[in-house]
Amino acid sequence: LSDVSWEQRLREAGYRLTPARRAVLALLSRAEGPLPPGEVLRRARALCPGLGRATVYRTLSLLVRLGLARAVPGPGGLHYVRAEEGVHRLVCQGCGAELVLELCLAGGLAEELARRYGFSIRGHVLEFYGLCPDCQKGE
């Protein structure tokens, strides 16, 4: 998804394209991983000075509703990532270390689910949980 198609999707759904939304959108695009709302605010202010906390929350939940972003469990609550077709992570339960995986095996499955349940599938999350080599020692 390019930034342009994001903007189109907002418009299609009847929402306005504002500096605040552009900033959050752009920020999530560049982020290297899931971010908590507070961090989204901090970083987005570089792109949109004076941005308010409430707007970040409103924008994040709008983006999730539209399928442009996704919430994943993280330290201290929900973290947000740009919704690509799939999110694939390997997370250590000991230290929280996180690896982004390059695989994808859910494509065909998504189609079957769409058929079977009538869902329009927008994306998926595949996360593996375990202990990294270091944390296995401490166990």
Residues that bind a copy of itself (CB under 8 A): 13, 64-65, 67, 70-73, 77-78, 83, 90, 92-94, 99, 101, 103, 105-106, 109-110, 113-114, 117-133, 136, 139
Under rule CB under 7 A, residue 34 binds DNA: no
Alpha helices (H) in 31-83, listed in sequence order: 37-47, 53-66
Residue 110 interaction partner, one of DNA, a copy of itself, none, beta carbon < 5-8 Å per kind: a copy of itself
CA angle 68/107/14 to nearest 5° reads 25
Instruction: List the beta bridge partners of residue 80.
Output: 35, 71
Under rule CB under 7 A, residue 53 binds DNA: yes
Residue 61 interaction partner, one of DNA, a copy of itself, none, beta carbon < 5-8 Å per kind: DNA
Beta carbon of residue 117, minimum distance to a copy of itself (angstroms, whole number) = 6
- Altogether, the residues listed in the chain come to a count of 139
User: Structure tokens of 121?
Assistant: 């599938």
11: which residues sit within 8 A by CB, 6+ positions away?
A: 17
Residue type for 87, please?
Answer: V
Residues making contact with DNA (CB under 7 A): 11, 15-21, 36-38, 48, 50-55, 57-59, 61, 76-78
